[in-house]
């Protein structure tokens, strides 16, 4: 049993690193999309009320 756990540890570490990279990328995409959504809705409100 212990030998199996020792063999899986490097694989689990590699998977964890990949998931951390994916998480960072998705967070960056979230901020970019949120920024452009904020610009879009701000422009829409501007045109609705101020033009």
The predicted model scores a pTM of 0.67
Alpha-carbon distance 13 to 21, whole Å? 12
Res 5: pLDDT: 62
pLDDT in tens, the chain (51 residues): 455 666 678 899 999 999 999 999 999 999 999 999 999 999 999 999 987
Residue-by-residue DSSP string for 1-51: -HHHHHHHHHHHHHHHHHHHHHHHHHHHHHHHHHHHHHHHHHHHHHHHHH-
Res 2: pLDDT: 56
Residue-by-residue DSSP string for 4-18: HHHHHHHHHHHHHHH
Length of the chain: 51
Res 7: pLDDT: 64
């Amino acid at each position: 049993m212990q030998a199996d756990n020792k063999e899986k540890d490097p694989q689990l570490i590699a998977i964890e690193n990949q998931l951390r990279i994916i998480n960072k990328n998705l967070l960056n995409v979230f901020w970019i999309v949120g920024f452009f959504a904020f610009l879009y809705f701000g422009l829409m409100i501007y045109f609705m009320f101020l033009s």
